[in-house]
Amino acid sequence: MVRKDFVFGVDLDGVVADFIRGMKPIAAEWLGVPEPELTDEVSYGFKEWKLGGKHGYENLHRFALRERRLFEVLPVVEGAGVALRRLSRRGVRIRIITHRLYIPWFHRQAVVQTVEWLEKHGIPYWDLCFMAAKSSVDADVYVEDSPDNIAKLRSAGKSVIVMRNSTNRHLKGPGADSWAEIESWVLGRFRPAG
């Protein structure tokens, strides 16, 4: 029996929104260094950028969100928008699952900036979920870049495509380096009704 509601769980930061490329100029400004001094080969939390102290990343993230409207200005990962629009037209139900409520007391700004960004870039979705426990949100397949989230989803028995970047190259696949690969992988599992 073919399901009519094939659900594709899609993370935003590092998957649809190019978080590293978007955060880099803000971090350069924050640190007072030329942008080329900040490597693109980062680990989760950007320790390579020497943000300083226990709360360095949190402080940068708060500044980026409040003062530079980070979630509204992030660039789109190449090919993401068009691939998601094609998948949506084919009948794939796109469920955005993001943990953008990272900074306490700035949830309204994070949600508003996210919705504005999705609309500005024409990213289709049926559902928009803001939560850390992504395995609590059902989907037939997920695409994710965070090593911790990938591990949690897989330990819950979920099918996950790893969107490859410098934080997760050590993880086993299935993995993808581009949205063309992700789209192909999803279409290989999705069979439209009718």
Q: Which residues are catalytic?
A: 11, 13
Candidates 64, 86, 59, 79; CA nearest to 19 is 64
d(C-alpha 175, C-alpha 32), whole Å? 36
Q: Are 74 and 98 in contact (CB under 8 A)?
A: no
Surface-to-core class of residue 119, CB atoms within 10 Å of its CB (0-12 exposed, 13-18 middle, 19+ buried): exposed
Helix, strand, coil shares of the chain, percent, nearest 5, are 40, 15, 45
d(C-alpha 111, C-alpha 168), whole Å? 26
Q: Are 95 and 158 in contact (CB under 8 A)?
A: no
**Measured CA distances, 143 to 1, 2, 105, 131 (Å):** 24, 22, 28, 15
